[in-house]
Amino acid sequence: MNNQTKDSLSDERGGVDDITPVFSTGVGIDVATIIQISKSKDEPEWMLKLRLKAYQVYLEKEMPDYGPDLSGIDLSQIKYFQRATDRIARTWEEVPDEIKTTFERIGVPEAERQYLAGSAAQYESEAVYSNLKRDLEDQGIIFMDTDSALKKHPELVKEYFGTLVTMEDNKFAALNTAVWSGGTFLYVPKNVHADVPIQSYFRINAGRTGQFERTLIIVEEGASVNYVEGCTAPNYSEDSLHAAVVEVFVKKDGYCRYTTIQNWSTNVYSLETKRAQAAKNATMEWVDGNLGSKVTMKYPSIYLVGEGATGSMLSIAAAGANMHQDTGAKMIHMAPRTHSTIVSKSICHNGGRADYRGLIKYTKEAVKAKSHIECDTILMDNNSASDTFPINDIETSDGTIEHEAHVSKISEGQLYYLKSRGLDESTASQLIIMGFLEPFTKQLPMEYAVELDRLIKFQMEGSIG
C-alpha cells in the first residue's frame, strides 16, 4: 500500500486527536484498578463484586491456544480506563469541540440527521454523546450507554448481564467483565418496531489503549430493531486492544439485525465475544464487516433455543499486509425446525491472511434443523493465505447441513472481458471485487454500502491492477 493510501485511510479514521483525558487509571491492571474504575462510575456493590470475581478468572485463564499469534500483546502496558469528558452530551453542540471535530470528519452527525433513529458515540472508555428520537422514546424504547443503563435501569441490566457471555467463557470475556466501560444498552418493548437504524460509534484515539465496551440488546416479543455500529482507530506506533462483549436476546417472534463495520488501524488487536439467543420463531441476523486491525478474532454466535428460530451471519473480511483476520460464526441449534445460514466472504492482498472458523451444532432436540454455509475467498497474490476450519457437531440424524468453500484468484476471463470493454485493469479488478462482495453490500443501507465501497477501494489501492 502506498503512502497516499495510508494517509487516505488515516483520514477516513479521523486522524489522531491531541486530547488529554479528564481521568485515567494509568497503565496496567490490578485489584486497585478495578476498584478505581467502579468507584469512578459510582456503581452498585454487586457490580464491583462481579468485576473483582471476573478479574480473578482472567488471571487464571490461559490465552487462546488457536488462531492468530497474540504474543505481541503486552497486557501490562495497556491503559484500561480513560474518560475523555466529564459528561455525556444529549445534543451535538454539547460535545467538546476537539472530539466533535473527529466525529464530524467521519460523518457521525450527518448520518444521524439523514438516516438514523438514534445515535451514540463512545470515545476511549466512555460515551460522549447519546440521542434517541422522541417518537421512539415515546414507544418505550431505551437507548443509552450501558453505564447509564446500570444507574437508570439496574433491574434490567442485572437480569441479563453476563447470562449469555459469562466470565468463564474465555480470557478476554473475563477481562471485559472486570474492566468493562461504555457500550450500548438497547431495549425494545413488546410489538414495537424500530425500523430505522439506531447507531453507535466507537473510537480508540491513543496508542496502548484498551476499549472494553459491553453491549446489551433486548428485543421483546414481536418487536424488531436494526442496530448498526462503526469502529475506528487512527494509525499510531503502539498497539491497542479492543475486547468487546455483546449479548443479544430476541424473544418470541422478534427480529434483530446487528450490523458492524470495523475500520481499525493495523495497530489494534480486536478480540471480541458476541452472542445472541433467538426464541420461538424469532430471527437474529449478524452482518459483519472487518477492515483493518492487526489481528481480529471474532465468531458471533446464535443460540437457536425456540422452535422455528432463524439465525444468519453475513460477513466480509479484508486482510492486507501484517493483518490476520480470523473470523467466522457459530450456530447452535437447540430446538426443532430451526434454520441457520452463514455466508463468509474474504479478500487477501499484500500477504494478508483471512481464515474462517465456524461451528454448527445440532442437539438431540434439533430435529428437522437446516443449515447452509458458504465460504469464499479471493487471493490477490501468492503471498496471501486463507484457511477454513469448520466444525459440525451433530447429535440428531434428522437434519440437513450444506457446506461449500472456494478459494480463487481474480478470473482472467472476467478481466479480459472487462478490459475488452475499455476498462483498465485496476478498474476492472475493483468491479470484480465489488461484485464478489455484493451479497454483503446489498444488505446494508445505501449510505453504509457507499462507505464500505470507498473504504475497500482505499485499502486495496496499489494491490490490484
Q: How far apart are CA 215 and CA 192, in angstroms?
A: 20
83: amino acid identity, one letter:
R
Residue 197's region, left for phi above 0, alpha for psi from -120 to 50, else beta, is beta
Q: Which one, of 158, 107, 156, 113, lies nearest residue 133 by Cα?
A: 113
Phi, psi of 303 (to 5 degrees): -95, 110
Q: Is the pLDDT of residue 377 over 80?
A: yes
The pLDDT mean for the chain works out to 83
Phi, psi of 403 (to 5 degrees): -135, 130
pLDDT for 296 = 95
pLDDT for 393 = 96
Share of residues in the chain with pLDDT > 70 (%): 77
Cα four-point dihedral sign 243, 7, 19, 185? negative
Q: Are strands 268-271 and 240-242 parallel, antiparallel or unpaired?
A: parallel
109: amino acid identity, one letter:
P
Query: What confidence tens digit (pLDDT) does each residue in 63-95 have?
Result: 999 999 999 999 999 999 887 655 555 555 655
Q: Which one, of 319, 317, 313, 327, lies nearest residue 289 by Cα?
A: 317
More confident: 56 or 95: 56
CA distances from 17 to 54, 106, 125 (A): 33, 13, 15
Q: Is the pLDDT of residue 380 over 80?
A: yes
Q: Is the pLDDT of residue 398 over 60?
A: yes
pTM, 2 dp: 0.86
Q: Which one, of 137, 218, 155, 143, lies nearest residue 183 by Cα?
A: 143
Query: What confidence tens digit (pLDDT) does each residue in 232-290 have?
Result: 655 555 778 999 999 999 999 999 999 888 877 788 899 999 999 999 999 999 999 88
pLDDT for 171 = 98
pLDDT for 12 = 45
In the three-class reduction of DSSP (H, G, I as helix; E, B as strand; rest coil), residue 169 is classed as coil
More confident: 415 or 121: 415
pLDDT for 229 = 83
DSSP 8-state symbol, 190: T
pLDDT for 233 = 56
Q: Which one, of 157, 138, 152, lies nearest residue 217 by Cα?
A: 157
Residues in the chain, total: 465
C-alpha cell at 343: 455466508
Indicate the range of 129-133, 160-164, 454-458 predicted with least confidence.
129-133
DSSP 8-state symbol, 408: E
- DSSP bridge pairs for 304: 278, 333
Q: What angle do CA 268, 271, 277 make, to 5 degrees?
A: 145
Query: What confidence tens digit (pLDDT) does each residue in 431-463 have?
Result: 777 787 788 777 776 556 666 666 666 666 655
Q: Is the pLDDT of residue 1 over 70?
A: no
C-alpha cell at 100: 466533535
Q: What is the dihedral of CA 452, 237, 200, 436, to 10 degrees?
A: 20
* Cα 89 to the center of its chain, rounded Å: 24
pLDDT for 153 = 97
- Give counts: helices (H), strands (E), the chain: 13, 25
Residue 8 CB partners (closer than 8 Å, separation 6+):
458, 461
